Amino acid sequence: MCGFTGFTYCSGDRREVLSEMLDKIKHRGPDAEGTYIDEKIALGHRRLSIIDVSESGNQPLYSDDGKLVLVFNGEIYNYKDIRRELMDKGYKFRTSTDSEVLIYGYREYGEGLLNKLRGMFSFVIWDNDSETLFGARDFFGIKPFYYAQMGKTFMFGSEIKSFLSHPDFVKELNTEALENYLTFQYSPCAETFFKGVYKLPPAHYFTYKNGIMNINRYWEINFGADEKPGLDEWVDSISSTFHDSVKAHKVSDVEVGSFLSSGVDSSYVAAIADVDKTFTVGFGSNERYNEIGWAKEFSGAIGIKNYSKVIEPTEYWEKLPLIQYHMDEPLADPSAVALYFVCNLASQTLKVCLSGEGADEIFGGYNVYSEPGATVYDRLPMGFKKCVASAVSKLPAKRGLNFFVRKGRTLEERFIGNAYMFTPKERRELLKIKTSAPEPSVITKPFYDKVKGKDDVTRMQYLDLHMWMTGDILLKADKMSMANSLEVRVPFLDKKVMALAEKIPTRYRVIHKGTAEGMSYTTKYAMRLAAKKDTPPQTAKTANKKKLGFPVPIRVWLKEDGYYNKVKNAFTSEAAQQFFHTEKLVQLLDDHRAGRGDMSRKIWTVYMFLVWYDVYFQTSVK
């Protein structure tokens, strides 16, 4: 795992500027630094040595004739197969790294190389002959890639913070991103919080030549149910495919460990990975916020040593500015901080950890996926449900009425992903500034359009795979692990696993059952059965346990004097007054403290932006 940065033009000393940019991402690769500079381009790389840990694996890497130059972040798990294929074609390799297959694979296949890869990656290749820059980002967006055109220079890299050291970079807040963020809790669009800085979408490649950038998609998720196999066959297929993926994701010349919570995803990974160490964090002694007991019990059952840490509230809050610094853009997911601590814990003894991200999006695991078709009311005409929703919305707030409001809206109107913080109306009332930010439905429409005619569960999964997972789940996994010089690998997010999962009928992803007490449901049903099959009997209960995922007690903390006052000071600060009607922010805080509703996630969304803004725009990060 590594990090890279680069640019095509610089009004200052190119070598000095590149060195400063690399210093900003040293955490991504503390083991080695390398640069390539000519009159057309400057490339810099920081290395975390995992495969071929010798100096021969340092980057940039060059083709045998020196005409192709590569900087790469990620892992190619099938590199040995591609290497053999290229050697049969006459290519000669100088290293044992996975990186070198990208150079000769690109020379042989061009962009066709990308669909041969199995792994997580972002990289660029500079072609000296054609003076063309070629770059790509992996299928799911596991590894980040940012770029910006600032005046004469094109800059690119693994983290935005490296751009700030470039003398031609113009640091300006993108207020549209702020308004969108208030709804999604992450930055959902291609343009980031820094005006003019963009994210390359997952499964896309680009070419940059003569100041012109062309971006193209090279891979797509295609849900299409195969109704022929029965449930048992799907369970067996999931088991064999996932075993193969975990085996591939363990390719390494250094020790590999595994994160472990009390949920089925990480338990499934840990149970079949044959690692020696698992890592868990929690808060206090309440099982609602602490999964350490579950994790230790599970680790003991599979014969693995568990390392754990109880996070104290004071250290959690103290790390918030550092967390937002490493994120590059504000992220309001409270579990990101817990993830930082578990990565820090793991990094003290190894360099690589497996994790369970992606299982919910691929196999249909989120509780919200159980909503479609869960009640008889769902089968009533939408026109009738809209009328009921309109009438109910005018009544005083009362428990249970929101059900009718939600059911009176189409999926496209009500579902934008696993987080929906402020509605467009709420965010406009909260913001003092005016922006031209689009409605949430405008942002999600291109993804819904791709799955027209599919069932609601499939459409929700497709949207989450392209937005929530990339913008929140994978962002925090990459940034929090790299902040601790740790590589996190996600075996659920594998091309072969996805190819299988997209064929599983919806009835085997989310199942509804009638009981004497009413309807019940199970999400990622087939995957849970596979996990039960592959894990020890005494620990199979994790397959039925409700997902927690590093839960954080912010709703409790925000009612305590110390943290209430800390957030209130931020809500009434000069920075807050620039963007918000601060009296409305304080009202949210007071309502939460008084028990008039759980406002904690909305409060946290605003507070994380203010913490991030202070780091990047008020403390002169350069």
Residue 337 and residue 316 in contact, taking contact as beta carbons nearer than 8 Å:
yes
User: What is the phi/psi pair of residue 505, to 5°?
Assistant: -60, 150
Token pair in block for residue 9: 């033009």
Q: Furthest-apart CA pair in the chain: how many Å?
A: 75
Burial class from Cβ neighbours inside 10 Å (0-12, 13-18, 19+) for residue 565 reads: exposed
Kind and range of the H or E element at 450? helix 440-450
Residue 524 and residue 508 in contact, taking contact as beta carbons nearer than 8 Å:
no
End-to-end CA distance of the chain: 24
Cα–chain center distance at 227: 31
Nearest to 557, CA basis, from 288, 280, 331, 317 = 317
What are the DSSP calls for 14-40, one per residue? HHHHHHHHHHTTGGG-BSEEEEEE-SS
Give the separation between CA 517 and CA 247, rounded to whole angstroms: 43
Concerning whether 2 is annotated as a catalytic residue, the answer is yes
Beginning with the edge strand found earlier in the chain, give each strand of the sheet holding 146-150 in spatial order: 32-37, 42-47, 2-7, 153-157, 146-150, 197-199
Token pair in block for residue 441: 């439905």
Residue 233 and residue 226 in contact, taking contact as beta carbons nearer than 8 Å:
no
Token pair in block for residue 597: 């509703």
Give the separation between CA 238 and CA 244, rounded to whole angstroms: 10
Nearest to 476, CA basis, from 340, 605, 608, 282 = 340
User: Would strands 256-259 and 204-209 be described as parallel, antiparallel, or unpaired?
Assistant: unpaired
Residue 237 and residue 229 in contact, taking contact as beta carbons nearer than 8 Å:
yes
* Side-chain half-sphere exposure of 471, counting CA atoms within 13 A: 30
Cα–chain center distance at 94: 34
Nearest to 191, CA basis, from 156, 134, 146, 152 = 146
Instruction: Give Rg (Cα) of the chain.
Output: 24
Nearest to 229, CA basis, from 552, 467, 526, 455 = 526
**192, 219, 242, 249, 290 from 491: Cα distances, Å:** 28, 18, 8, 6, 25
Beta bridge partners of 42: 7, 37
What are the DSSP calls for 67-83, one per residue? -EEEEEEEEETTHHHHH
Token pair in block for residue 420: 């929906």
Helix, strand or coil for residue 383?
A: helix
User: What is the phi/psi pair of residue 575, to 5°?
Assistant: -60, -45
Nearest to 601, CA basis, from 419, 479, 477, 464 = 419
In eight-state DSSP terms, residue 115 is: G
Q: How many residues does this entry show for the chain?
A: 622
Active site residues: 2
